[in-house]
Amino acid sequence: MLPLHLAIPPGENLSILAVGAHPDDIEIGAGGLALSLADSHPGLRVRYVLLTGSTERQDEARQAARSFFAGADLTVSLHSLPEGRLPAVWDQVKDILTETARSCVPNLIIAPHEHDAHQDHRTIGEIIPTVFRDQIHLGYEVPKWDGDLGRGRPSVYWPLSPDAARRKVELLHKSYPSQRGRDWWDDEVFLGLARLRGMECRAPYAEAFTCSKLILSS
């Protein structure tokens, strides 16, 4: 396993585009990465885009974005496309992401991957590479009832310390009180998956991502 570092041109700040189908997707899939980059990159610029969500859930997402990307130059864009129906409004999803690309040229994109079993996630994962052709797209995973963790085999890992993994889970609970009581929303699910991915990269915990294309340079 070969460690690689994000290469940022001299004098520039790291720029991230975080895309989610639903409130909590970004934080579940890449909350540890978000916290780590916010801590380690002064001047971090973040564009945070959600495609669906009720008013209550969008309010939660705003707070979550501020918490997970604390200190970053943060721009939040929230949309109200029909949840569970993104394939049926494919043109609108494409328009939103295309417009985002016109105003945002990130170094890194974190978004769902194209093999996700949830139709909303999968739609975004399929469109992202057609709109952003010159950026690294890390496709995050979201545990779900569908049991799709084997569909998008991870190829990129972000190791997390025990403290970082627990901080992520604490912020998930704090940011999304509307989700409490759901049978999949608990510490064992979040930490269990992170421990499994950590084992795969010889770390206490980790988040895992798919990446379909990278160009290496010396």
Residue with tokens 């988040």: 207
User: Looking at the domain that runs over 15-210, which CATH code has it been given?
Assistant: 3.40.50.10320
**Residue 190: its pLDDT value, please?**
98
pLDDT digits (tens, 9 = 90+) for 169-194: 999 999 999 999 899 999 999 999 99
Dihedral sign for Cα atoms in the order 146, 147, 153, 156? positive
**Residue 36: its pLDDT value, please?**
96
> What is the C-alpha separation between 16 and 188, in angstroms, rounded?
29
- What is the DSSP secondary structure assignment for residue 82, as one 8-state letter? P
Residues of the chain with pLDDT under 70: 218
Domain ranges for the chain: 15-210
Six-digit token string for 96: 């939103």
- Output the pTM of the full model: 0.95
18: CB partners within 8 A, 6+ apart: 26, 30, 34, 46, 47, 48, 49, 65, 69, 109, 110, 111
**Residue 150: its pLDDT value, please?**
75
Contact yes or no for 213/128 (Cβ under 8 A): no
